[in-house]
A and B are shown apart, each in its own frame.
Chain A
Amino acid sequence: MRKKIKKNHEFFELSKFRRRFMLLVLLTLFFILFSRAFFLQGMQKDFLQKEGFERSNRNIKLYAYRGKIYDRNNQILAASETVRSITLEPNRVKFKNGDKKKLANLLGIKIKSLNKKLKTKKNHIYLKRKVDLEIASKILALQISGISTEKDYRRSYPDQEISAHVVGFAGNDGNGLEGVEYKKNDYLSGTQGYKTILIDRRGRVVDNLSEVRVPVDGKDVHLTIDKRLQHIAFQSLKKTINDSEAISGSAILIDSKTGEILTMVNYPSFNPNERMRKRSPFVKNRVITDAFEPGSTLKPISIAAALEKKVVSVNTKIDTGNGFYKVGRTQITDTKPHGIISVKEILQTSSNIGVTKIAEKLSKKYLWQTYSNFGIGNLTGVNFPGESKGVMRDYSLWKERDHFSASYGYSVSTTIAQLARAYTPFANKGEIKNLRLYKGDPTKIGQRVLSIKTSEAVLKIMESVTEEGGTAIQASIPGYRVAGKTGTARQFIKGVGYGKPGERKYNASFVGIAPASNPKFIMAITIEDPSKGSNYGGVVAGPIFRRVVSEALKIYSIPQDGIEIKAEIDNDKKEI
């Protein structure tokens, strides 16, 4: 028994050592664990949490669709289409035989430039952005490791160069850079959304983790433009410019009753679907941005001012002499001597001397005020980027020469849009209308600038311009009464002035109203420097008016008011 106790004692002695040893080992291990836990939880907490979240959580952007741009008949002028962006992970990329060349061909880049991209030190780069789906699928079919595609959106303009100046274009980032795309960018672009999601080990989305910001799609913009007429106007303008070897041309067609712009075209144009390497000089909408001396197209306003002031009547006879008239040092000429003619004939024959003699009866201030009331030197209300006010100096700065030259459209400059607006009082019984490009904009009540009697009288006189003996017979439309005025203005070139005879450059223009009995359309056209054939406004711009407005009258089912219907039938009988 004693022995046993001893043994136990001995055992106890040993176990005490073991126990202490084991305790030490355990404490050491616990210390190691504690230190590790402290290190991980305390010192590497942020890093580990980030790594953990990256494995299970994803922050995703929710795309907000950019609004579409429609014409007045809900035809698309601009919309976003799905494309793919080709991405490259240079570290992972491996090419099989010939794949590199095929890839470069599909991307439309040189092998040299592809190699340069392959050498980049970044982990992820875009090989090419916004590639067509067809090309992207061909690239994916090559099965090159390290090359993948991402969904992207691209702005598409189905009307191409026809409506390019109105619609404008958006950049790679989706923000508008020109035209309506730029002006209405905030309205069109909407707000991107985002959310944090939880994914399982198979990559399936199983939960939304954080607050979701719902994407708000951009709103659609409806324009007053009529795509059908836009096409006709563009083709007519293009044909005229090519035939007359002119530099450029612009045209605008408006609804005279509401001021809505139905067409607004320029030629040369550009294709907004193609990315421009160099900014084309023909990108701006010259209907709105470019001011020029309107020439004789301003004469109806000068005559309206005189009729309103009652210094002349329609039948007042004025002696225009032998075609030469000197005011101070300025020599004013007509294309041919007209002798003694009435106010009506002054407009019909576009006599500069006649209008000057009428302007002599008016004060500078009154004439200036009338032009200003007709919108010369003021914005048209179209709300378009880069709109020019034109130039019309204050009457106090006018010299004697300016007083008279303004009456036949020199010394002031206007845009073609201002000119179209300036004719709205003749079509609306004396009320001027603001121009409108956006369908949602409220129609403003026109402001009276002329009496009904005067506006009707000037409209009647302007009808004679498109009749036999007038300067714009080419603008007449069979079956309809057309009023209008031509303009053939010398271009003022900086440093050169108006140039010597033979070297001069002209702007040929025409502004017309149809049908004259109950006006619906006003169209203003200008052609810059027509060098082949005639450079007269009636001859160059008149046919464009005829082609476009006759189609517009048909499309909008405007009844005929032409007094010449009978004459046409008689002519046809003779031909048969």
Chain B
Amino acid sequence: MKLNLILFSLLIIFALVKINAHHLYRVNHHSLEIEKRKTIELKDEQNQLLIQESSKSGNGRISEYAKSKLKMNPPEKKQKRMVK
């Protein structure tokens, strides 16, 4: 009778441990999914920034800014001097 009681208690304990382990697995899995989603979002952001960087560092844009805002113009032939 005593042995049966002990075995029954053990059964209950292991069942609870199993349920808890499964629950923890699901919680961790959910966290992992959130991290994966963040990774994708960061990757998207990185792509976005790379595109922005490429657009903003474009030679066309730079030369336009140089001409219009900084008043930089390539020197004319008369202004050039060849240095040996």
Task: Identify the A interface with B (CB < 8 A).
Answer: 63, 65, 68, 75-77, 79-82, 156, 158-159, 162, 197, 200, 204-208, 227-228, 231-232, 235, 478-479, 565-566, 568-569, 572, 575-576
A158: chain B residues at CB < 8 Å are 51, 54-55, 58
Contact B48 A82 (CB under 8 A): yes
Q: Digitize B33-55: 1 where CB-to-A-CB distance is under 8 Å, 0 elsewhere.
A: 10000001001100110110111
B37 → A minimal CB distance (Å): 9
Contact A204 B51 (CB under 8 A): no
Partner of A81, one of B26, B51, B59: B51
Say yes or no for B29: interface residue by CB 8 A criterion. yes
A205: chain B residues at CB < 8 Å are 29-30, 33
- Closest-by-CB residue of A relative to B30 is A204
B contact patch SS: helix
A82: chain B residues at CB < 8 Å are 44, 47-48
Q: A81-B48, A227-B59 are in contact. Are A569 and B30 (CB under 8 A)?
A: no
Can you name 11 extra interface pairs (CB under 8 A) apart from A159-B54, A204-B33?
A79-B50, A79-B54, A80-B47, A162-B60, A200-B26, A231-B58, A232-B59, A566-B84, A568-B82, A569-B82, A576-B81
Contact B84 A569 (CB under 8 A): yes
Contact B51 A565 (CB under 8 A): no
Docked complex Cα distance between A566 and B84 (Å)? 8
A206: chain B residues at CB < 8 Å are 26, 29-30
B57: chain A residues at CB < 8 Å are 75
Say yes or no for B71: interface residue by CB 8 A criterion. no
Contact B29 A76 (CB under 8 A): no
Task: Identify the B interface with A (CB < 8 A).
Answer: 25-26, 29-30, 33, 40, 43-44, 47-48, 50-51, 53-55, 57-60, 78, 80-82, 84
A152 → B minimal CB distance (Å): 11
B54 → A minimal CB distance (Å): 4
A contact patch SS: mixed
Docked complex Cα distance between A158 and B26 (Å)? 43
Q: A76-B54, A156-B51, A162-B60 are in contact. Are A575 and B29 (CB under 8 A)?
A: no
Contact B51 A231 (CB under 8 A): no
- Closest-by-CB residue of B relative to A570 is B82
Q: A565-B84, A569-B84 are in contact. Are A575 and B78 (CB under 8 A)?
A: yes
B40: chain A residues at CB < 8 Å are 63
A232: chain B residues at CB < 8 Å are 59
- Closest-by-CB residue of B relative to A205 is B33
Docked complex Cα distance between A164 and B38 (Å)? 33
Docked complex Cα distance between A110 and B78 (Å)? 57
B41 → A minimal CB distance (Å): 9
A197: chain B residues at CB < 8 Å are 33
Docked complex Cα distance between A429 and B33 (Å)? 61
B53: chain A residues at CB < 8 Å are 76
Q: What are 21 A-B interface contacts by the 8 Å CB criterion?
A: A65-B47, A75-B57, A76-B51, A77-B54, A81-B47, A81-B48, A81-B51, A82-B47, A158-B54, A159-B58, A204-B30, A204-B33, A205-B30, A205-B33, A206-B29, A207-B25, A231-B60, A478-B82, A566-B84, A568-B82, A572-B82
Docked complex Cα distance between A207 and B26 (Å)? 6
A68: chain B residues at CB < 8 Å are 47, 50
B43: chain A residues at CB < 8 Å are 65
Partner of B82, one of A79, A159, A200, A479: A479
- Closest-by-CB residue of A relative to B41 is A82
B80: chain A residues at CB < 8 Å are 478, 572
- Closest-by-CB residue of B relative to A151 is B44
Docked complex Cα distance between A568 and B48 (Å)? 49
A207: chain B residues at CB < 8 Å are 25-26, 29
Docked complex Cα distance between A200 and B23 (Å)? 11
A479: chain B residues at CB < 8 Å are 82
Contact A79 B60 (CB under 8 A): no
Most buried by A among B40, B54, B57, B58: B54
Docked complex Cα distance between A568 and B53 (Å)? 41
- Closest-by-CB residue of A relative to B27 is A206
